[in-house]
Chain A
Amino acid sequence: MRSAIVDLPIDTAALAAEVSRATNGATLLFIGTVRDVNDGRSVTGIEYSAYRSMAEREMADIVREAREKFATTDIVVEHRLGELAIGDASVAIAVAHPRRGAAYDASRYVIEQLKKRVPIWKLEHYVDGTREWVNANGQHVAEPAR
């Protein structure tokens, strides 16, 4: 069981390997990636920022909750910050469990809670050179004053 905020590319295969054990019949790897269009606009990249200490604490809480709800300690989640390009992994969640049902449920729980609670923000960069903060529903919220 582990969670981390990272600044370097996420090694997704290493995360899957980290949770894989002989007692587990199911290993799931969820990878969230930067996509090239959001809300109808062409995106060239995203800058992720966070209230880092609180984000680390919330992620640790979420993983602990998932362990209790779904009875597995084999959960690892990493979220990356900084400048990410199209296709880069921003978040990865590896879950392993003796049974696939609980593995899917635990993986879903972690990503949904992360998106609701973990204080991380994204500033989208567009083809026309502009940048905007994105809210939880994927919509643009404000023009940054810089």
Chain B
Amino acid sequence: MTQPPRSRYHKGRRGFLADSGAAAVGTVLGLSVPFARHFPAGLVPVALAAEGLAGKDPGLITLNDRPLNAEVPAHLLDDEITPAHRMFVRNNGIAPATVDPATWTLTIDGEAVNAPVTLTLQELQKRFRAYTYQLTLECGGNGRAEFRPNAKGNQWTTGAVSSAEWTGARLRDVLQAAGVKPNAKYVGYYGADTHLSGNKDKVVISRGVPLAKANQPETLVAWAMNGEAIPALHGAPLRLVAGGFPASASGKWLTRLAVRDRVHDGPKMEGHSYRVPCRPVAPGEDVPDEEMCIIESMPVKSLITFPGSGLVHPAGKPMSLRGHAWAGELAVKQVEVSIDFGATWQRAKLRKAKNRLAWQHFETRVAFPEAGYYEVWARATDARGQSQPMVVPGWNPKGYLNNACHRIAVRVS
């Protein structure tokens, strides 16, 4: 195992406050930040604390720099297996400044284990057989930007999805180390990230998966991504990976797994977080907490990754295009494309997934009848016959699960 690179992002900036008081903050920032004198010791203003995207493709679009959130334009998701430098970043808190794989431990506890146990990373790697799967991880809020009324939060357009190869032990094998009681219902994770406020006692996010998902062979406690140590931004050195579920179920910087005798109740499991109305609601409707249901399998979706939107294409030549399609826990059975806003559709060539929960690749050629402005739309259909809608699907308070058809714009001339 190579050592994961130490984070280059936070060390210096967070250390800044170690030897400079609030007054110095005002000095460094000049007079451009009012009220600097009121900053409490230990709080680093965002201007000095922004996390970086060093090593990432320069085309990534930063939605928020504290916590760091960045999405990937569709044309940069063209790789069949998403490389680290083209993987979206969705952090809820501040990533750990440094991680030491040599001393990293994972604790398995909770009401529904026989005997809590703590294992080192090395013990995990030695004791359990390693499996590798390509697993599609999509943020529950991918596509949020299109909901009206506007939904609060990071305004993801299409680029909060990845499909990398993850290597690690099966979660179900690891849980057996502590012994799972018959009343087990859910597995919750805890990670080493810290809350934005700097309050070390505040858990940033602690979600997880129902026991049935935990027991699937592809649900991993992973220590490698694409054959290398997991990158710092993506959960080094240990990450829970549950493909097909909202990516927030795949806890980063994993330190603890709690086997619960109830639905896990960590931060961002409850309220409106990663939940949609159990029954359809009108746009803008108030929905009480108890009528919100946890998102599990993500819906069917596809992305045209070549060519990128906004190209000029010569008249009289067919245009080749390709992309990926995925459907949460299900397989995709068909992808079609349209150059006339859905009036007619043609089937694309669709390949089988490398393994369950990996995205599938499609390709086809389209011919434009004459010069002008076109949009090429793609529509995938899952194994149960559910297709992507062309309009934005049912509104929900937090703007999750927008799986409307992807489209690219082309000027033929």
Bound pair: A and B? no
Interface of B with A (CB < 8 Å)? none
